[in-house]
Copies of this chain bind each other. A is one copy, B any other.
Amino acid sequence: MPTEIPATGLALRTEITGSGELRLSLVDQPTRAPGPDDVLVRIEAAPINPSDLFLLFGPADLATAVVGGVPERPTLTAKVPERLLASVRGRLDQSLGAGNEGAGVVIAAGENAAHLLGRTVAVLGGAMYAQYVTAPAREVLVLPEGATSAEGASCFVNPLTALSMVECMRLEGHTALVHTAAASNLGQMLNRICLKDGVELVNIVRKPEQVALLRGQGARHVVDSSADTFLADLTAALEETGATIAFDAIGGGKQAGQILACMETAAARKMTTYNRYGSDTFKQVYIYGGLDLGKTEFTRTFGFAWSISGFLLTPFLKRIGPDRGGQLRERVAAELTTTFASHYTADLTLAEALQPANIANYNARRTGEKYLITPHRG
Contact = CB atoms under 8 A, between A and B. Distances in A.
A304 B312 contact: yes
A296 B315 CA distance: 27
Interface in A252-311: 252, 268, 271, 273-277, 280, 287-288, 290, 293-301, 303-311
B296 A304 contact: no
A3 interface: no
Contacts of A311: 304
Given A296-B300, A297-B297, A315-B280, A274 B90 contact: yes
Given A274-B91, A306-B309, A295 B296 contact: no
Contacts of A287: 300, 304
Contacts of A271: 90
A328 interface: no
Interface residues of A, number: 42
A306 B54 CA distance: 19
Given A55-B276, A274-B91, A298 B301 contact: no
A57 to B, nearest CB: 11
Interface in A83-105: 87, 89-91, 94, 96
Given A251-B300, A287-B300, A300-B296, A54 B310 contact: no
A49 to B, nearest CB: 12
Contacts of A96: 274
B300 A306 contact: no
A294 B305 contact: no
Task: Tell which of A54, A251, A307 has the most Cβ of chain B within 10 Å.
Answer: A307
Given A300-B287, A300-B290, A312 B277 contact: yes
A37 to B, nearest CB: 23
Given A297-B296, A298-B295, A299-B295, A274 B94 contact: yes
Q: Which of A91, A300, A304, A308 has the most C-beta atoms of chain B within 10 angstroms of its own C-beta?
A: A304
B315 A310 contact: no
Interface of A: 54-55, 87, 89-91, 94, 96, 251-252, 268, 271, 273-277, 280, 287-288, 290, 293-301, 303-312, 314-315
